[in-house]
Structure 1
């Protein structure tokens, strides 16, 4: 079922700030986006949150469809040809420290709070408080996961799910490639392609296996069974969700791979193929050949969905895809090292950083505010267009994703439509990191991390006020 695309109206706000600040971004490629003056008016009449339509563009066999631009790219490329004002990259706001220090003193942020604000055009830190101190980042660590995956694989990478058949056609294996967004449309395409190949061989009954060996290590996250994350498997259907939801907490399958294989068996039977035994876990037999294949949406779209909706299943999958690209084990441990290595190639400060998982659910994650603003700055670099989905996927204050209900219900509050940021929430941990375009057209990257917070109901508004203080007024 198609997911909404509100960010096609609003997603460009951050990168036009880059155009205004740094100039000449239009030549950077199709992943760039720009802010339009009508952004708020257009977004206000749209009643759907940001997301990615990932039920289409799947192929049952042969090569994947041609890569598409990031979902937020259409309609916002033209403004990138505008020239940047000469004064756009001027010095720091004179009152920035005076504005932020009192807001950081809000008791709702608890006793541990750090901050970093950076001018993206120059890379200059405009304000910092404990900026290099590693903190538990919660879901803002997904910014790191996104940047690592895009650096390792590129924005047009697609995750394949395949079906193989033994030389005699009697044993069929559903092979998981690590796509948690595989849905019934894709699974049905696999079944149809498989049945066609079997008929060509004169085969009408098979034994079915399913292969999850692309991932290694524990499938269960250290938090244990949880509605926020299914067991991490190379094969799952609709993220292992047992309801019709597409984001947020939901009842999850205890064995998502087995459930996906059962669904595939049913779809095979619908085509007239008899499934004699199974499905059972196991590798494809020696000499097996691929008879059907389906693909995820491009990585750019997966990153945007992950960031907008704080999708934990996608985050863990993208961390493992990063590990596979580095020829490391696709496990929590292998992903941790692969993500760190990729960020190191971007020149991101990593002192004290730890990426225990890709989603931020693990309290052993450690990231500094300076690390987050450095990643955001790299993502806005005209020389790195492949990282642009890190910016375009950020929720928009008052409009999309995990920021839809923040920054005022009337959508006229300070920061609504201008703050783009990834949220982070664990018990006692509240964080916010993203970008904002200032009144004079500069793009700022910010990160505010708070620990031992008394309540999200006081911490989140305090974080929102910090980000809104950077945004234009009126």
Structure 2
């Protein structure tokens, strides 16, 4: 995927602008939007939020912005925390309990994605390979690519080609037949990952409900039982063993009789018989953010641990993600236990999320741009597809907001970017709920839309 960067027109911030910080007992009088709702239904999704364009308008007046957002939040009893930041200056413009840690749910994926792009880089690919094993066998070695697929390549797919298990079988069969081998045992190696396959804070229903597969360095089609049917979420209990069986069947179709063997560790320096690679990290990040893919998020987090020389465990992945954030100067307010946000033990403050988004959108870190391009576009794509942003109360945000959603029982979050009505690029994070009762994500959409509708400069 080729990304073009817009030229930047940077204007000085109005002197003396300061954040308006509201306490729970304060509430400002709301003001009506200064511009009409834009008709963006016909606009191409790619036109929303030009990459690296900080906007040409003045930043909004903090008092005016606060009046509109505080009215929507609803007073001191509302279980909402929020922040809005001017991307160009990094200055907070609105703060409602912005430093209060909250359960981030899938907005954790923004944190994971920034750390991965900043450490392994946007061009990094994950390799799955086959090597010779002992006693005439072969070893299928997982590198941690959950997008490895046994499905046929689709020329109309919306993503770069995934690594193909069929292609790997073809390469391996060709190499084996060339050396006179017609029958093999397929052992498999998952040693790239260490530790338990589930994270602290994951609920017992996540695996049986198909929210995520047991995390493994070797999996095909994310361990789905029926990968060709998106409506079926069930996963296999042993993704690596299932992958070895699938690979053995494909080898047999390519003329080499094969059966699945056991889990082993391949010998160092073993002769390679075939290899396939994932899409680049930039594409993996775009996918995991747009579709909120838990399996890819966990894989991406482990790539950070491996890059920094730590074991690829949940704990080490979380630790190294925070190490990378510290290097970027945005680690404060972040405490995580996984890469996907499924863990109910994760805690991130709104100000931390907004600062991370702001770094990804700024001029100085172009390698992070896939975080921006991967976030769903309000009313158009991914987890922000209709009916979200189709109702009147949030329609002003359609096409003008890019954001990552987060949802767990009793929790809803939204973090991303929006252009206001004056053309200024703002980063925001809204976090609602305490896990103990129902939450309306529509309120967060309305807050984001209020930013887009604000001609408050």
1:124 corresponds in structure 2 to 91
1:150 corresponds to 2:117: yes
Q: Aligned ranges for residues 402-413 of structure 1 at < 5 Å?
A: 402-405=383-386, 406-408=388-390, 413=395
> Are 2:52 and 2:363, in contact at CA under 8 Å, matched by a contact in 1?
no
Query: Which secondary structure state, in structure 2, belongs to the residue aligned with residue 220 of structure 1?
Result: coil
1:459 corresponds to 2:431: no
> Are 2:105 and 2:344, in contact at CA under 8 Å, matched by a contact in 1?
yes
Residue deviations 1:44-103, cap 9 Å, x none? Answer: 8xxxxxxxxxxxxxxxxxxxxxxxxxxx7xx999x7799964xx2445355101001111
Distance (Å, rounded) in 2 between the aligned partners of 1:430 and 1:76: 24
1:296 corresponds in structure 2 to 278
2:370 corresponds in structure 1 to 389
CA 350–240 in structure 1, closer or farther in 2 if over 3 Å, else same: same
Distance (Å, rounded) in 2 between the aligned partners of 1:94 and 1:171: 70
2:241 corresponds in structure 1 to 258
Query: Which secondary structure state, in structure 2, belongs to the residue aligned with residue 116 of structure 1?
Result: strand
Q: Aligned ranges for residues 334-349 of structure 1 at < 5 Å?
A: 334-349=316-331
Task: After TM superposition, give the deviation of residue 248 of structure 1 in Å.
Answer: 8.3
Residue deviations 1:429-472, cap 9 Å, x none? Answer: 1111110011111110000011236765x521111111100013
Task: After TM superposition, give the deviation of residue 244 of structure 1 in Å.
Answer: 3.3
Query: Which secondary structure state, in structure 1, belongs to the residue aligned with residue 396 of structure 2?
Result: coil
1:200 corresponds in structure 2 to 178
CA 199–357 in structure 1, closer or farther in 2 if over 3 Å, else same: same
2:339 corresponds in structure 1 to 358
1:234 corresponds in structure 2 to 217
Consecutive unaligned residues of structure 2, counting only runs of 5 or more, are 13-37, 153-163
Instruction: Give 2:71's match in structure 1, choosing from 93, 98, 102.
Output: 102
CA 21–395 in structure 1, closer or farther in 2 if over 3 Å, else same: farther
2:27 corresponds in structure 1 to none
Task: After TM superposition, give the deviation of residue 284 of structure 1 in Å.
Answer: 1.9
**Which stretch shifts more, 260-269 or 247-256?**
247-256
CA 380–22 in structure 1, closer or farther in 2 if over 3 Å, else same: farther
CA 21–412 in structure 1, closer or farther in 2 if over 3 Å, else same: farther
Distance (Å, rounded) in 2 between the aligned partners of 1:175 and 1:453: 40
2:396 corresponds in structure 1 to 414
Query: Which secondary structure state, in structure 2, belongs to the residue aligned with residue 414 of structure 1?
Result: helix
Computed over aligned residues only, the root mean square deviation of the Cα atoms, in angstroms, reads 3.1
1:180 corresponds to 2:181: no
Task: After TM superposition, give the deviation of residue 332 of structure 1 in Å.
Answer: 0.6
2:198 corresponds in structure 1 to 220
1:133 corresponds in structure 2 to 100
Distance (Å, rounded) in 2 between the aligned partners of 1:364 and 1:80: 33
Q: TM-score, normalised by structure 1?
A: 0.80
2:424 corresponds in structure 1 to 442
Residue deviations 1:211-248, cap 9 Å, x none? Answer: 00100000134323241100000000111112236878
> Are 2:52 and 2:362, in contact at CA under 8 Å, matched by a contact in 1?
no
> Are 2:128 and 2:145, in contact at CA under 8 Å, matched by a contact in 1?
yes
Query: Which secondary structure state, in structure 2, belongs to the residue aligned with residue 118 of structure 1?
Result: strand
Distance (Å, rounded) in 2 between the aligned partners of 1:116 and 1:271: 57
> Are 1:97 and 1:127, in contact at CA under 8 Å, matched by a contact in 2?
yes
Query: Which secondary structure state, in structure 1, belongs to the residue aligned with residue 222 of structure 2?
Result: helix
1:59 corresponds in structure 2 to none
Residue deviations 1:292-322, cap 9 Å, x none? Answer: 1100011111001101111000111111111
Distance (Å, rounded) in 2 between the aligned partners of 1:248 and 1:144: 28
CA 373–76 in structure 1, closer or farther in 2 if over 3 Å, else same: closer
